[in-house]
């Protein structure tokens, strides 16, 4: 029995990398992952505090997207520990199932946000929060079904084969399960490029957040997949497989925080600019109501100007086709008052008349 490495006490050897002072990559990655977990929890709490301060309905509908994205980011940082711990019969199903599902959830949120922005940059009515939520669930559900089918097939029908997979076969199956996630990533990147073609510039800023986030994510995924499938074997560093994936998880999690969610929350309560944002009442108020009110105000002002300059009270912007006539001020149009009639007993004195 080998003695525990420096920094580790009497713990199971599967957890040595969490405390091994000689192979410090485990300690560094778990520290970064723990910091990411704390910041993500803080951002979730901040999101709940900002709900009442969001004045724009278009931004308020995005709160559900931000919440599920933060949950996915929290899962990415938590999954890092499954790759620091030694691969065994407990961590293998966790790696195979959660890796694709969590990233599918994150990229589904980004894709739903990008689809919504494509409507906002063109001044169209955005999706409601319920539609956005259905889009996220629909996109992520595909990866969940794929992973469940794989795990059920391997664990139930071929349990011994699954637990005794070779290193090369394990890496191939792991990457093959992520094909749909790669498709979501490419689709999100493509849809985010269309957000730069609209008329409302302020919404393009949000599209730029998605574009940069997915661009960095693609670079990270290309590197770790290349190193996992070919690079480590070519360099004869097969013990680098878990560190490569763990580094990819931590890096992608921090990219999600820095490039996307932090700027989005910062602009969540930004004041509405009418020249850049489509007004909210354009989506719920008929056009002619606002136009009629504007014409009435201008006509009333013009009426005051005309009467003040010319003194002609016969002009009115609201006049019909009938010609109005000026009233002659010499004619008496006063209402006659009632007059008291003389009583027949006015001269009566109360005396007797002649007999």
- How far, in Å, CA of 224 to CA of 215, rounded? 15
pLDDT tens track, the chain, 355 positions: 567 777 677 777 778 788 877 777 888 999 999 999 999 999 999 998 888 888 777 888 889 999 999 999 999 999 999 999 888 878 888 888 999 999 999 999 999 999 999 988 887 888 888 999 999 999 999 999 999 988 887 766 665 555 566 677 778 888 999 999 999 999 999 999 998 887 777 788 889 999 999 999 999 999 999 998 887 777 777 778 889 999 999 999 999 999 999 999 988 877 666 555 555 444 433 333 344 444 455 554 455 444 544 444 444 444 444 455 555 555 555 666 666 666 555 555 555 555 4
The residue to which tokens 């007004």 are assigned: 279
Tokens of 300: 């009333």
Is there a domain that residue 332 lies in?
Answer: no
Q: Which structure tokens are listed for 74?
A: 């929290």
For residue 104, tell me if it sits in a domain. Answer: yes
Q: Which domain does 43 fall in, by range?
A: 18-269
Q: How many domains does one find in the chain?
A: 1
Does residue 242 lie within any of the structural domains?
yes
Report if residue 236 sits inside a domain: yes
Question: Residues 343, 347, 350, 355: is their CA dihedral positive or negative?
Answer: negative
Structure tokens at 168: 């090369």
Does residue 343 lie in a domain region? no
Q: Is residue 208 part of a domain?
A: yes
The continuous run of DSSP H or E covering 220 comes out as helix 201-226
- Asked whether residue 287 is domain-assigned, the answer is no
Query: Which CATH number do you get for residue 77?
Result: 1.20.1070.10
User: What is the crossing angle of helices 241-255 and 63-84, to 10°?
Assistant: 160
Structure pTM?
A: 0.75
Burial class (CB in 10 A: 0-12, 13-18, 19+), 122: middle
Q: Quick check: is 352 in a domain?
A: no
């Amino acid at each position: 029995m080998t003695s525990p490495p420096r920094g580790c006490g009497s713990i199971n050897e599967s957890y040595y990398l969490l405390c091994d002072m000689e192979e410090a990559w485990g300690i560094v990655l778990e520290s970064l992952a723990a910091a990411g977990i704390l910041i993500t929890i803080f951002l979730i709490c901040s999101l709940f505090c900002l709900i009442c301060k969001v004045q724009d309905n278009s931004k308020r509908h995005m709160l559900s997207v931000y919440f599920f994205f933060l949950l996915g980011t929290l899962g990415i940082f938590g999954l890092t520990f499954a790759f620091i711990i030694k691969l065994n019969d407990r961590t293998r199903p966790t790696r195979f199932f959660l890796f694709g599902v969590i990233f599918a959830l994150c990229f589904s949120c980004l894709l739903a946000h990008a689809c919504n922005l494509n409507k906002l940059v063109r001044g169209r009515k955005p999706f409601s929060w319920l539609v956005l939520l259905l889009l996220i669930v629909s996109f992520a559900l595909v990866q969940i079904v794929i992973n469940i089918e794989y795990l059920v097939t391997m664990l139930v029908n071929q349990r011994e084969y699954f637990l005794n997979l070779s290193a090369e076969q394990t890496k191939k199956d792991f990457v093959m399960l992520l094909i749909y996630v790669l498709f979501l990533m490419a689709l999100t990147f493509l849809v985010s490029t269309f957000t730069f073609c609209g008329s409302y510039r302020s919404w393009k800023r949000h599209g730029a957040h998605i574009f940069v986030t997915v661009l960095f994510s693609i670079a990270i995924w290309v590197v770790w997949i290349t190193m996992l499938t070919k690079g480590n074997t070519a360099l004869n560093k097969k013990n680098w497989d878990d560190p490569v994936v763990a580094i990819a998880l931590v890096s992608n999690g921090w990219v999600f925080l820095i490039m996307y969610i932090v700027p989005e929350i910062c602009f969540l309560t930004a004041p509405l600019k009418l020249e850049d944002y489509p007004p909210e009442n354009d989506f719920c108020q008929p056009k002619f109501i606002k136009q009629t009110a504007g014409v009435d105000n201008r006509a009333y002002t013009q009426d005051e100007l005309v009467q003040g300059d010319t003194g002609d009270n016969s002009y009115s912007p609201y006049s019909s086709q009938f010609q109005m006539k000026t009233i002659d001020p010499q004619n008496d149009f006063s209402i006659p008052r009632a007059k008291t009639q003389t009583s027949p007993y006015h001269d009566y004195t109360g005396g007797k008349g002649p007999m």
